[in-house]
Structure 1
Amino acid sequence: MEKDNIQIVHTDVLCIGGGGAGITAAISAKKQGARVTLISKGKLGNSGNTIMIGGSYSMDGKSAKDYGFKKADASFTKEYLFEQIVKQSFYLSEQNLVQQYVEESPNIVYQCYQWGEQAKIKQKFFSPGGWMLSGHAMGKALLQGMKETPGIELLEDIMIVDLLKSDGKISGAVGYHVYTGQAVLIHAKSVVIATGGYQPFSVTSTNSDVVSGDGIAMAYRAGAQLADMEFLLFIPTALEPQSSKGSILPFLLYSSGIPIDTVDCEGSPVKIPPQMRKMAKGSELDKVIFNYYWSNRLAMGKGTESGGLYMDFSKLARLPKFILNFGFQESLKYFKDFYKYGYYHSDNLFYFKELMLEKKKLEFALCSEYSMGGIVIDEAMATRVPGLFAAGEAGSGVFGACRVADATTEMMVQGVKAGCSATQYAQSNAQPAVDDGQLQKLLDKIQAPLERSSGVNPLGVIQKIHQAADRGFGSIRNEEGLSRALAEIEQLRDGELPFLAARCKSPSYNYERLCAIQAENMLTCTEAGIRAALMRRESRGFHVRSDYPQVDNDGWSVRILEEQGPDHMIMSKRKPVVTKLPIPKGTEMNIPEFMIKQKLRFKNASIR
């Protein structure tokens, strides 16, 4: 690709990512007086994972009460929230980042609430201190924030391919217009990565198909460290009916308290002890509890052909018809506040009810909805690369091995901080000159899939990544499966990635070229995750190993770090930052025993 047909952009702060972290970073930077450019791979507020959420954003109950919300629970204090996030991270969170989350969340959360009211979205307050809303409503609230902050340069439908550096410092980024193919060069003094996490599996859950770890992988190639990549949050997700595949409706049904059993492929029930069921009630701790017991049944070889289990509706079907209909109507009343009547997102709830009663059981799987791992950042959201910052799910450090607090709050808190820090850096540093050699290499990289006359199909490589992750890197892991998955990923990295070729050679909306770029990023993140999972010879949070079921606090209360070496991924480990709560010692026989000993009781889902 020639340099004379490039769109050139000059800015102080470049924010990459069109979700909550990117938008709040851009707003924050603009309010600090910076020239700001916000780039999104899709349409702002209507692409990526923001529109996929069906959840909440929140602050501590005491702060919510201070803002005038009478139903807030003032006993749910900042101190309590801090303690519970650290404990539920299985003590792997960076406690300085948790403190920041707790202290700085009220301001931006209330600001988002006000944006939502201005945009006239539907949002419902629930105790202790949160608001329930749909993903589209969150997108509208964030767009209202953009509307109230004029002067931000917005570039949509642009795929950023890589970051530029000069003399070790960030100097900008290179990408291309998805629809026209035109290359884009952005000169920037600082960059905020806000591109979300990664999802390497064949069935997605509240993840769009563009969540390929782009920002995480770009930061890694630029010299940043990654951490906690082995920790992915698995949640019960529909496999049937086909129209609902990927929906988290099974999770919502289980969490609602409806009498639903879980059975394996032989029809045997998967029991959860009463003490753990009590701990799960009214709390998003139910996710890690479900994951542990159901994953261990899968480890016994009792899963379906698709690697799932069944929701058993037999008890529900035996209820008197009037009770069943009353309960269903109450559910419809809840969902109608946020979605079209009779639907959850695109799920037809009337059809789902018919299938429940007709088939008596429906298949689901444990699928990833969030990645706790990502780029290593400090309290300023700075990476170790000068001029590079990260926020939200692309970063790491708040949630450690298990997230139960709101990720939407995390993305906004860290977005605001990253925008402020990136502006301060830009105001103190001159614009570095672009390295022409690096620029040309990136332009060639963009063009390579179109110029190869033959080669490997990028879609096939992504499918093989999914297959490798499904087989060895899912909700239950062991040495053999992880080693096999890593070997498959290494073969794709060395034997197929260098030869990716798009069959269509047109630069205009070439989906295979887009997949070629994403495949490299997904391979990097998946390799990092599998290597860390192999290294961590214990179970902790959402990392469940059938061959190492114990929680080993003495040996593995550490973060696993990864960075790019000359010819391979370099692994290391260190203790997380501790400010208040000491890391426990000793070993627990399994994850439930750890949770019981720590007296986890996070009641953050009282709307259920």
Structure 2
Amino acid sequence: MATYRHDVLIIGSGAAGLTTALRMRPDARVALLSKGQLTSASTYYAQGGVAAVMDQRDSLESHIADTHIAGAGLCHDDAVRKTVENGPDAIRWLIEQGVGFTQFEEDGRQSLHLTREGGHSHRRVIHVADATGLAISGALIDQIRQRSNVELFEHRTAVDLIVQDGRCTGAYIHDTTTGKTDVFLARAVVLATGGASKVYLYTSNPDVATGDGIAMAWRAGCRVANMEFMQFHPTCLYHPKAKSFLITEAIRGEGGHLLLPDGQRFMHQHDARGELAPRDVVARAIDYEMKRLGADCLYLDISHKPADFIIHHFPTVYAKCLQLGIDITRDPIPVVPAAHYTCGGVMTDLHGRTDLSGLYAIGETAFTGLHGANRMASNSLLECFVFGHAAAQDIGTRLDGLAEPASVPEWDDSLVTDSDEDVIISHNWDELRRFMWDYVGIVRTVKRLQRAMHRIDLLKREIAEYYSNYRISNDLLELRNLVVIGELIIRCALQRCESRGLHYILDYPETAAETGDSILTPAAPVARQPACHLADTI
């Protein structure tokens, strides 16, 4: 087992982590860790684009107002303004990094092509066809490989943060290729581990989205907020061979119709904005109609548009569906809602700083106040670029005044054994995700939440016992984190006695006149020797 020392430790290789690393001062020694390959983050799979005001017919105030409306009264205005006002510069920076956004010819010159998504009053979503995340991820990874001050570590899963004298100074990191757990020490630590949608049975997210950063920060003593606001994307492809494939919201933005199995449109019965209503409204409408009809899925149809238009604007969706026998130029696409985005997270300020000195959280891991009760489409990538830059600047100004961390003991697994009962992990994993889907999904009740909490309590004890007796694995670490996430979501949901944004509860169907954030404060972290691989508070 090894000990690594750097100035800055960044855990996560999506837009948030890559941006923070690229924006860091060049003399800072940076370790950038990825749970799988560098492309395993959610950013790589993002289709839609980045929301920013790049058209003179649009305005910053309009983008700000749209964000507040989508957030159902819970957005923090300072976070919204910081994000929106820095949006144009973020797009220009991405272009400098080599991102080739889709353009069109206007008045004899090339201009950025802007599309529109739900909740936006203008076309302001900059994109690369329908594979924006892939293009951004590729360009930023190309840049990061050229940085001599950044050391890359793939296939590394974080276990827990290291805290010395009230300051975060690193983390224990499990190498999934060797089975060893190493020590990574740094003067500043950045959590950019993404969201937690894998806590649900159906999700659009990749397998790595298990809430690791949120769970680790909670165990280390950081507050979390608004975890009840889990966004369900309205349209994921419904097909047995299409695991987690998202149907971009831009299809609705370009005129796609949502249909019942009999071919009838229905969205205007739920909201005057129809298919362009915010995601929470559309997802709830689809969920309602599916349950009303007993349907396995509904349909999204863009086939009334010219075939060339469809293939040019949505080549990724077209190719994937065609591979599965669905020609979207002729046929509607079968869709269902799926867990997509974690609007809550680790509480931070406008620099990405958490409650724990030396620890930052960026992107979907963080709660900045930007998204409120419902994230507006394509604001998430923008948040990564803006707050990644802000965190890098803040770390850069503080780095010279921070002492090198003291040495800590190596990870000790001499008192545990290899498991011969891995079925417990898979069983608990499946049970957790299924009852979270059934009881803590798009529509909730107090009784369902209480049932889910009862199951969480039992699972916590089982997982803690297993963790204390057997050598760790990636699956065990993810399960350990997901049960924390499940508890945080349920606790926040039980606190909110109203329906607002993504939290719809039948016991309290009305929206309260006054409300605030659902903030959870952990008990003091359990004092323990960091080298001992023993059960701790989950």
TM-score (norm 2): 0.85
1:244 and 2:233 correspond: no
Structure 2 gap ranges (5+)? 105-111, 115-122, 527-538
Q: Distance in 2 between matches of 1:329 and 1:169?
A: 57
Whether the aligned pair in 2 keeps the contact of 1:280 and 1:289 (CA below 8 Å) is no
Aligned to 1:516: 476
* Matching residue's letter, 1:391: I
AA partner of residue 284 (structure 2)? Y
User: Deviation of residue 310 (structure 1)?
Assistant: 2.5
Matches within 5 A, 1:181-200: 181-199=179-197, 200=199
In structure 2, C-alpha distance between the alignment counterparts of 1:258 and 1:354, rounded to whole Å? 11
Q: Is 2:399 the counterpart of 1:401?
A: no
User: Which among 131, 134, 137 is matched to residue 135 of structure 2?
Assistant: 137
| d(CA) in 2 for partners of 1:24, 1:259 | 36
Correspondence list, 1:243-282, <5 A: 243-249=241-247, 254-263=252-261, 271-273=266-268, 276-277=271-272, 279-280=273-274
Report the 3-state secondary structure (helix = DSSP H, G, I; strand = E; otherwise coil) of the residue aligned with 1:541.
coil
Q: Against the structure 1 CA distance between its residues 108 and 240, is the aligned structure 2 distance closer, same or farther, given a 3 Å change threshold? A: closer
Instruction: Tell me which amino acid in the other structure corresponds to 2:48.
Output: G
Instruction: Determine the structure 1 residue equivalent to 2:529.
Output: none
| Identical positions, percent | 25
Over 3 Å counting, the alpha-carbon distance change for 1:259 and 1:390 in structure 2 is closer
Quick one: which amino acid aligns to residue 57 of structure 1?
A: V
AA of the residue aligned to 1:418: A
Q: Distance in 2 between matches of 1:248 and 1:350?
A: 14
Letter paired with 2:113: F
Superposition TM-score, scaled by structure 1 size? 0.76
Cα deviation code 1:52-104 (max 9, x no counterpart) = 111111322xxx3xxxxxxx2x1322222222212321121222211211222
Other-structure match for 1:380: 351
- 1:238–1:244 CA contact under 8 A, matched in 2: no
Is residue 222–residue 355 contact of structure 2 (8 Å, CA) maintained in 1?
yes
Partner SS state of residue 360, structure 2: strand
**1:495 alignment partner, SS class:** helix
Which residue of 1 is the match for residue 36 of structure 2? Answer: 42
Q: Deviations over 1:164-188 (max 9, x none)?
A: 0111111111112111123221111
Equivalenced residues, count: 505
Q: Tell me what 1:69 maps to.
A: none
Pick the structure with more helix per residue: 1
* Equivalent residue in structure 2 for 1:478, among 418, 422, 445: 445
* Cα distance, 1:237 vs structure 2: 3.6
Residues 1:539 and 2:502 aligned together: no
Is this contact kept in 1: 2:310–2:329, CA < 8 A?
no
Structure 2: distance between partners of 1:59 and 1:524: 34
What SS does the aligned partner of 2:97 have?
Answer: helix
Deviations 1:226-255 (CA, angstroms, capped at 9, x unpaired):
111001111234463322343223856555
1:536 is displaced (CA, Å) by 0.9
The structure-2 alpha-carbon separation of the partners of 1:158 and 1:109, relative to structure 1 and needing over 3 Å to count, comes to same
Aligned-CA RMSD value: 3.1
Residue of structure 2 in register with 1:320 after alignment: none
Matched, 1:353 2:320: no
Taking a change above 3 Å as real, the CA distance of residues 489 and 83 of structure 1, as seen in their structure-2 partners, is same
Q: 1:288 aligns with which of 270, 280, 294?
A: 280
Alignment match, 1:413:
386
- Residues in 2 aligned to 1:293 and 1:14: alpha-carbon distance in whole angstroms: 43
Counterpart residue type for residue 512 of structure 2: D
Which position in structure 2 is the counterpart of 1:230? 228
How many Å separate the matches in 2 of 1:212 and 1:179?
19
Q: Is the 8 A contact 1:236 1:366 kept in 2?
A: yes
Q: CA deviation at 1:17?
A: 0.3
Q: Which residue of 1 aligns with 2:531?
A: none
Are 2:237 and 2:247, in contact at CA under 8 Å, matched by a contact in 1? no
Q: In 1, Cα distance between the equivalents of 2:216 and 2:240?
A: 35
Decide whether the 8 Å contact of 1:22 with 1:38 is kept in 2: yes
Aligned to 2:202: 203
What secondary structure sits across from 2:5 in the alignment?
A: strand
Deviation at 1:150, TM superposition (A): 3.3
User: Which residue of structure 2 lines up, in the alignment, with residue 589 of structure 1?
Assistant: none
Letter in 2 for 1:168: G
Given that residues 72 and 501 in structure 2 are in contact (C-alpha distance below 8 angstroms), is that contact kept between their aligned partners in structure 1? yes
Contact 1:270 1:297 (8 Å CA) reproduced: no
1:87 maps onto 2:87 in alignment:
no
Match of 2:486 among 512, 519, 526: 526
Once the two structures are superposed, residues 548-589 of structure 1 have per-residue CA deviations (whole angstroms, 9 ceiling, x without a partner) of 1111122xx211111322599xxxxxxxxxxxxxxxxxxxxx
Q: Which one of 108, 125, 130 corresponds to residue 90 of structure 2?
A: 108
Unaligned runs of 5+ in 1: 1-5, 65-71, 317-323, 506-511, 569-608
Q: Secondary structure at the match of 1:522?
A: helix
Question: C-alpha displacement at 1:292, in angstroms?
Answer: 3.1
2:280 partner amino acid: V
CA offsets 1:490-514 (integer angstroms, 9 cap, x no match): 11111344225999x8xxxxxx821
CA separation in 2, counterparts of 1:190 and 1:75?
42
Equivalent pair of 1:458/1:513 in contact (CA under 8 Å): no
Tell me which amino acid in the other structure corresponds to 1:514.
Answer: N
Correspondence for 2:298: 310
Does the aligned pair in 2 maintain the 1:191–1:388 contact within 8 Å?
yes
**Contact residue 122 and residue 137 of structure 1 kept, 8 A:** no
Deviation per CA, 1:374-433: give whole Å up to 9, x if none.
110001110010000011111012101111142111111111111222233332221232
- Cα 1:259/1:409, change in 2 over 3 Å: closer
Deviation per CA, 1:20-51: give whole Å up to 9, x if none: 100111122234x322111111222x112121
Pair 1:147–1:58, CA change in 2 (3 A): farther
Match in the other structure for 1:321:
none
Partner in structure 2 of residue 579 of structure 1: none
1:429 aligns with 2:422: no
1:434-583 map, 5 Å: 434-436=407-409, 440=411, 443-444=412-413, 448=416, 450-452=417-419, 454=421, 457-499=424-466, 513-554=473-514, 557-565=515-523
